[in-house]
Amino acid sequence: MALTKKQKEEILKGVEEKLSKQKSVVFTDFTGLNVEKLQTLRRQLREKGIEYQAVKKTLLQIALKKSGLDVDLSKFPGSIAVAVGYGDEIAPSGVIYDFAKVKENSALQILGGIFQNNFAPKEMILKLAKIPSREVLLTQLASVFIGPIRGLAIALDGIRKQKEVK
């Protein structure tokens, strides 16, 4: 069923608003995914504060231009959906990448995205997706700081045990 002009204007307005608030955007081709899998993806994205919406290419192109973002969508095949992240800039690419890694969801393809208000090709989005989350990075950093202290504690305990034996 074709969209009316009013419906298109409402969709355009909504997409423009999302793009104006975004920290990062991932463009995906969801051709081949059934409704159940798309709902699972939407749920996973929603848990991270990310919106996922299928948008006609022409409407998305207009919204991107109005938002001052230069992206040529004509080179992307299939149907396009956008994952818009408002908090963590890496979260949209990470969630989508992890979802698409599962064999049953391999039909979902990352096409590219917007990172730091510039177009990012597929390769860059995939690199971003492989960066661990902020929580994991903080845990790794804490482990690096604790390592030498742990080593010192073990050494001091060893010296204490030697002195107790004598």
Residue-by-residue pLDDT tens, the chain, 166 positions: 677 888 888 888 888 888 888 888 899 998 888 889 889 999 999 998 999 998 888 888 888 888 888 788 888 887 889 999 988 888 899 999 998 888 887 888 899 888 888 888 989 989 988 888 778 888 988 988 898 888 888 989 989 888 887 6
Q: Which two structure tokens, joined as six digits, stand for 36?
A: 């159940």
The CATH number corresponding to 5-131 among 2.60.40.4070, 3.30.70.1730, 1.20.1250.20, 3.40.50.11810 equals 3.30.70.1730
So where are the chain's domains?
5-131, 133-166
Between the alpha carbon of residue 164 and those of residues 108, 150, 155, the distances in Å are 64, 21, 14
Name the packing angle between helices 35-47 and 91-101 (round to 10°). Answer: 140
**What's the alpha-carbon Rg for the chain, to the nearest Å?**
23
Q: What do you get for the CA distance between the two ends of the chain, in Å?
A: 89
Helix (H/G/I), strand (E/B), else coil: 53: strand
Q: Are 44 and 95 in contact (CB under 8 A)?
A: yes
Q: Which two structure tokens, joined as six digits, stand for 79?
A: 């149907």
Residues linked to residue 53 through DSSP beta bridges, in sequence order:
82
